[in-house]
Structures are given as structure tokens and as C-alpha cells.
Amino acid sequence: MSLPPSIPLFPLSNALFPSGVLHLRIFEVRYLDMIRRCLAEGTEFGVVILLEGSEVRQAGKTELLGSVGTMARIESCEAPMPTLLELTCVGTTRFRLASSEPGKYGLWHGQGTVLADDAIVPIPPTLQGGADALGRLIARLQKQGVPGEQMPMAAPFRLDECGWVANRWAELLALPPHLKQALLGQDDPMLRLAQVQALLAERGLLD
């Protein structure tokens, strides 16, 4: 995939990883315009981690964006009100920002380079605990009757791949923004899963 010359950016306190699901409620003018343009043109937008500042624009407050992001493809869009859009998006390609700047209404744009997709790396026995814990979580949500479109991750559940398992945990865990960014920028999926599993162990989530 090639990136557009100017990427419209959506800073969030959480990270979006490739194949991740993102539910958004859009009401700010800057993002309503951005999403409508993406829908009309069939294009994606970039989700980057917000290192400092607020997701909702505040007068006199500055925003500090992370240097790594993921392109988001809009899967569905509903407009319950003229000034409200409800989206379901899926992460596609990671990218690294070379530069970024705010524009009209405070909407950020940036230029970046594509980061390679994760290699398909089977989960070694030493990291099986993280995959098993995620499998239990998915089974529990399914048993509770959570509809597929409301699940925090989308099928197919690739519980045998280091990258997929690491990415889903990195989205789910409450972690500082700088740590989310470090995981998103980690190119080795096995190393990313090892880092995530250490965090799961610290929180007692492997049992």
C-alpha cells in the first residue's frame, strides 16, 4: 500500500494496530469534514497516538502526536444526527510520520512512510500463555453473548500468530501512550509479543 502525499490524522489516546477494530463517535467539525471526505473519495485516514493533549480540541491546549500510526479503513458509517457520525474502522497499514502540522479547524495532516507488515510468525511455547489468555477472553465474551460487531477484536481470531495476538493485547491493555507507541513501532512480532506477555504477567492476567 502507498500512502497519500498528505495523510489526514486522527490522534487518539489508544493505539490502533493492523487488523484492529476501532469504534468512533465523530462530532467535531474537523473530523466530520475529514470522514465525509474519506467516504466520498474511498480513502483511509491515519490514527496516531496522542502523547499530550486532549482528544477533543480545547482552546489554548497543544497536542503532541506520536511518530508511528496505522491507517484506518472505514467499514461502516451511520449518522443518527446531522452532526454525529458513528463509525466502525479496521486498521490496515502501519506508518512512520516524517512530519505533521495542524490545519483548518485544527485538523492534523502529515507525511509518512509505510512500515512493513508483520511476518507470520508462529507462537513459540514460551509465549503460548499470552495467546491462551486472549483465547479465554474471546471465549468469555462469546459466552456472554457479545455480538460480533461489538467485540473488541474481529474474526478471524489468529491465535497462532505472534503479531495478531500481541496487537490485540496492545490495544486492550491500559498502558501509557509512550509504551503503546513503542509496541506499535516494534517491527519484530515475536519480540512485541514477548514484551506484551511480560506486561500480562505483571498484571496477573496469564492465569
Q: Can you give the pLDDT of all 207 residues of the chain as single tens digits? A: 678 889 999 999 999 999 999 999 999 888 999 999 999 999 999 999 999 877 666 665 678 899 999 999 999 999 998 899 999 999 999 999 999 998 877 889 999 999 999 999 999 999 999 999 999 999 999 999 999 888 999 999 999 999 999 999 999 999 999 999 999 999 999 999 999 999 999 999 997
Of 66, 67, 63, 45, the closest CA to residue 54 belongs to 63
Q: Nearest 5°: phi and psi at 19?
A: 75, 5
- Cα separation, 165 vs 123, in Å, equals 9
Helix 189-202 and helix 162-172, axial crossing angle in degrees, nearest 10 = 40
User: In angstroms, rounded to a whole number, what is the distance separating the alpha carbons of residues 113 and 95?
Assistant: 5
The answer to whether 77 and 83 are in contact (CB under 8 A) is no
Q: Which of 12, 100, 22, 90 is nearest to 56 (CA)?
A: 12
Q: 3-class SS at 162?
A: helix
d(CA 13, CA 31) in angstroms, rounded, equals 16
- What is the distance between the alpha carbons of residues 65 and 142, in angstroms, rounded to a whole number? 35
pLDDT of residue 60: 59
- To the nearest 10°, the Cα dihedral for 15, 191, 155, 151? -40
